[in-house]
């Protein structure tokens, strides 16, 4: 996280607050997540060099860039964002910083995630679902991990063969996930 400056991904009016451990508004009713929360989610995700990662609710692109650092040049990161202007700005920032292994695209209407680009080794969701979205579980590769908040609880979901294991890791608040 130290290699990816948060302030680069924030609007001018909140950049002075980049070092604060709190969510910051980035427009359109969306926030750039609190650094403590991002770190917790990334630890649960356990990204490895060479992984393919899906970043759902990429927002400003900050987590997409951090994930690009973690997967290294042999991995890939695809961020999706429902708010088209945020997706464009995030893609520009990720490219500006030179991440050739990462991109942010507008989420397709009626589609959660990027099923056509999967399966993924890791999926990070930075918006709160009401229930565990099976469509995202279905986009996990064997041995894959999905981290997301569901009904206020941070979940880690692991696919191993035909088995799905879910563990809970504390209470967190997020903007709602648009699931369709």
Residues designated catalytic = 33
- Calpha distance 109→151 (Å, rounded): 23
Phi-psi region of 46 (alpha: psi -120 to 50; beta: other; left: phi over 0): left
| Cβ atoms of residues 79 and 55 within 8 Å | yes
* Rounded Cα–Cα distance for residues 27 and 88 (Å): 13
Could you tell me which residues are beta bridge partners of residue 162?
Answer: none
Q: Token pair of 145, please? A: 């991990």
Straight-line distance from the first to the last Cα atom of the chain, in angstroms, rounded to the nearest whole number: 31
Distances, alpha carbon 73 to alpha carbons 21, 44, 136, 160, in Å: 29, 22, 25, 26
């Amino acid at each position: 996280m130290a290699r990816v400056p948060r302030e680069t991904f924030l609007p001018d009016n909140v950049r002075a607050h980049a070092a604060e451990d709190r969510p910051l508004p980035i427009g359109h009713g969306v926030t750039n997540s609190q650094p403590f929360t991002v770190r917790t989610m990334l630890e649960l995700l356990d990204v490895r060099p060479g992984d393919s990662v899906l970043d759902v609710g990429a927002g400003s692109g900050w987590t997409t860039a951090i994930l690009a650092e973690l997967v290294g040049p042999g991995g890939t990161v695809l961020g999706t964002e429902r708010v088209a202007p945020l997706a464009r700005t995030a893609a520009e920032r990720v490219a500006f910083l030179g991440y050739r292994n990462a991109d942010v695209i507008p989420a397709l209407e009626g589609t959660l995630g990027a099923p056509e680009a999967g399966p993924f080794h890791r999926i990070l969701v930075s918006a709160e679902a009401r229930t565990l979205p099976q469509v995202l579980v279905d986009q996990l590769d064997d041995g894959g991990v999905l981290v997301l908040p569901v009904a206020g609880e941070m979940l880690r979901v692991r696919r191993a063969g035909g088995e799905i294991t879910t563990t809970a890791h504390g209470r967190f608040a997020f903007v709602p996930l648009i699931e369709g």
